[in-house]
Structure 1
Amino acid sequence: MSAVDAAARARIERLVDAADYRDGESALADASRVAFLAAVPGAERDREATRRAAVEQCNARRGATAAASRDARTWHRVLLIAAIVLAALAVALVAISPRTGGPALELQVGMPFAGVIALISVGILWWLEPLRASGALWGAAAPARIHLVVGILLLLFAASVPAFRWSEVDDTDPWPVVLGLAGFVVAGVGAIVLYVRARRAGTAPTAPSIGSGLADPADTTSVLDALDRWWAQQEPVAERHRNDVIAVRALVLDYLVRTRLADERRARAVGADPTLGPWKERRP
């Protein structure tokens, strides 16, 4: 498989998995649109920019309520970054620095604090998970792999202490280190569990839903109308990239069949049809 095919397949899987199709026919009807977003450079980014602009326009008409909604989303994103930074900080406080040859805090002193910081980090990730899964944070830029990376980081460090640094522990009073290690293990396992739950739920990674960020869900129709207008402008773009879109559509159809979202016979029929489209936003 070429690098281009691999990248296209990854985008296809993300877009299809986030779509939550009603049935096989709705998935097949969306094949050209998914192929366009996966094949045309910048198309997915432009569509999301259009969606966000429509959401902001709708929210602006709602006044103070919309402003509060935007502030909340900003703080959620700050918290996501803080959670990742805290996980790294928990390790950095008591890990051996390659520059100084020693830790910022000795294990005996720093492990309880570091363990608490690790628990806070993963606690924030758990609290933010519904927003991450819905795409309200950064869409596909906030995949569930974040949880996996944090969990592996914390567990690897926890394993390294008894394996390589137990000589630094005071045998007469090991409890500060033991409690800190317990915090790292609980936090690391919690992050891994969060990742597994997200994968089983089909939310890793995800894309923002149509109404994500709206102050009032009643404005969803206005957002759909804005996306319909955007799609209508993409038809000539799709024709310019026709060969690429058709090639990627074949990959989309293959994925729909492999994941049993669509019947193979119907997928072959769609693939044999040279017509692309429809060029309007899919209705949930």
Structure 2
Amino acid sequence: MTERDLSTDAVNVQLAEAVRRVPATLSAEEALAGVPVMALLASHADAAKAYPTIVSTVERAELDRVKPLRDVAPKRTSRAYRWWSVIALVVALIAPALIMTGRTGSAALDPVSGALPSGLAMAVALGLFVWLEPKRTSNPLYRAGNFGAPMFVLITVIWAIGVSIVLREGEELQFHPEAILGLVLQIVATIGCLVLAVFAFRHDRERPQWADGRKVRESSALPAELAESPEYRAKLERRVTEWRRHVYGVSTADERAALLAAELEAVRLLADRGTLTPAQFDEAQQRVRSRSDWR
């Protein structure tokens, strides 16, 4: 089997696409500098999956240097705040329980008589949740996973079940204005909790757990002027070179042969495109074959 035979059709297609994206303004040496990475990404599936992580690691390190994280929430919450968080959750769960237990027939409240106190409890719980929300992601209880945004979705579902229980009373409600008021409060609180859940999920994304709920980056994108700077390009090239050598070192003999074949194929495609002269093509092939550590 020849070196060309080791390149599969799929690898050749990826290499052709990679070579097509090489800017025509690059010199022969600049184009050849990208060949090892082209070959690695085209012929080594595991490396292709890991490559975006390698690049993003360098980008994050550069962002940490030029764009420090900024504070967006209090660093700590008081003990009183944490107790109010617990109280809000307890009230939120008691509210539907007032009418759910009433269906057993032996409870003090039936769905009609319990509609108003249940609606009031839901309104109070929602008010507490809204008041507590700005500092929620700094709450140690939230950090333990007890007060995440999905909690509001669960509460919305439970409250909606409570609303449906009262609605089943049908004509009985018209004889009890207080029950109708309670039902209205329940419906408004349920919708309000759903809206709060939307904002809570947004807050969770803005203040992720790795930032301890206190710091986020104003922008996660690497500025174009920074991405094109010689300093950043040199850092990225060093990191990619280290990673490439590691991949080559842990690869099997067949994988190394595939890498070599892919690199030779990329050189040939550059020559066919006119980026390399015949002399440069021959020299590049000899250089690829002579590298024992895939530098």
- TM-score bracket for the superposition, by shorter chain length: 0.3 to 0.5
Pick the structure with greater CA Rg: 2
- TM-score between both structures, scaled by the size of structure 1: 0.46
- TM-score between both structures, scaled by the size of structure 2: 0.44
